[in-house]
Amino acid sequence: MGKKFTAQIQGLLDAEPEIEKNEILKKRINDAAQHFLPIFSELSNALKEHPLVTESKETAEELDETIYAVVLRLDKLLHALHYCKTPFAVSDFLQHNFNYSEPHALTSSYAKGKSQPTEGEHQSLFEELRQWRDR
């Protein structure tokens, strides 16, 4: 789908290279923004609210960095797509993207201090080991 869309955009640009004068291209950009905004918003929200938790601080840091990098990329894309819902002008689009601010850090995947429902015959041993680790 991406290659087809790119080819369509290139064809529209070949017909009229100045975007502000190319009504068909502006409509295509707007339609694409309307289509992709809910999809990418849902994906971004799912990543921001991920249920992943680990007992390893190092693993949690790696996991959080990776998820944050994806969320950051999606957030920048969503910021640009929100502008594309309005009549498109290159200078306004660049100004809109210049005003972008990064989202706050996400909730950590590290389990320290989080109550994890664990079951088993060695529950008290598990709790004691966790307390020793967290000191």
Q: What is the pLDDT of residues 79-89, one digit of tens each?
A: 999 999 999 89
Residue 127 lies in a domain: no
Residue 131 lies in a domain: no
Residue 88 lies in a domain: yes
79 SS3 class:
helix
Residue 56 lies in a domain: yes
For the cut 70, the answer to whether the pLDDT of residue 116 exceeds it is no
Q: For residue range 53-82, what is the model confidence (pLDDT) as tens digits?
A: 888 899 999 999 999 999 999 999 999 999
d(CA 30, CA 129): 56
Q: What are phi and psi of 54, to 5 degrees?
A: -135, 155
Q: What are phi and psi of 22, to 5 degrees?
A: -100, 90
Residue 13 lies in a domain: yes
Residues in contact with 72: Cβ distance below 8 Å, sequence separation at least 6, in sequence order: 102, 103
Maximum distance among all alpha carbons in the chain?
72
d(CA 111, CA 52): 9
Can you list the positions of beta strands (E) in the chain? none
Domain hosting residue 89, numbered range: 2-111
Residue 72 lies in a domain: yes
d(CA 31, CA 16): 18
Residue 71 lies in a domain: yes
User: Which one-letter amino acid corresponds to residue 93?
Assistant: F
Q: What is the mean pLDDT of the chain?
A: 88
Long-range CB contacts (within 8 A, 24+) of 44-50: 44/71, 44/74, 44/75, 44/78, 47/71, 47/74, 48/106, 50/109
Residue 130 lies in a domain: no
More confident call, 117 vs 99: 99
The number of domains in the chain is 1
In this prediction the pTM is: 0.76
